[in-house]
Amino acid sequence: MIKGLVTADRKTKTAVRAVLRHTGDAVKTEASSLFGKYDSKSAAGYKTVVRQRGINVEQSLRKTTGKRPDFGALQMVKALVPAADDNRPETEHAMELALDQIAAQFNRG
């Protein structure tokens, strides 16, 4: 579906990406709350990103010290993976709604 956006106009691409980005917000919010007890700055750095291969929640902040080589793994184990697992039903439902919105937009225009 995202690959099909190549042929769409700029306005449509922007609208579709915004709808899809919204589907990852529940995971981003829970991951931030789960990781806040370890590092609130890193927890605030989670962003939802829409790419051609899918929707990701990832850390947007750059590594600052390099003193914790396992910090990325810690974020995955303690926050991102549990948040994705906990929010699977909500994410699937949000994705269904997003696809309905996208289909309605294509059918209108």
Residue 13 lies in a domain: yes
104 vs 21: which has the higher pLDDT: 21
Rounded CA-CA distance 62/54 in Å is: 22
8 A C-beta contact, residue 22 and residue 93: no
In a domain, 105, yes or no: no
Q: Beta strands of 7-93 (E only): which ranges?
A: 46-51, 54-59
Inside any domain, residue 63: yes
Query: 55 has which bridge partners?
Result: 50
Q: What is the pTM of this model?
A: 0.80
Question: How many domains does the chain contain in total?
Answer: 1
By residue range, what is the domain housing residue 85? 3-100
In a domain, residue 72? The reply is: yes
* Residues 46-78: tens digit of each pLDDT: 999 998 888 999 999 987 777 888 888 999 999
Q: Does residue 100 register a pLDDT over 70? A: yes
Residue 82 pLDDT class (50, 70, 90 cuts): very high
User: Does some domain include residue 107?
Assistant: no
DSSP count for the chain of H helices, then E strands: 6, 2
Classify residue 11: in a domain, yes or no: yes
pLDDT at 1 over 60: no
Quick check: is 21 in a domain?
yes
Q: Is the pLDDT of residue 91 over 70?
A: yes
As a whole number of angstroms, the distance between CA 50 and CA 63 comes to 22
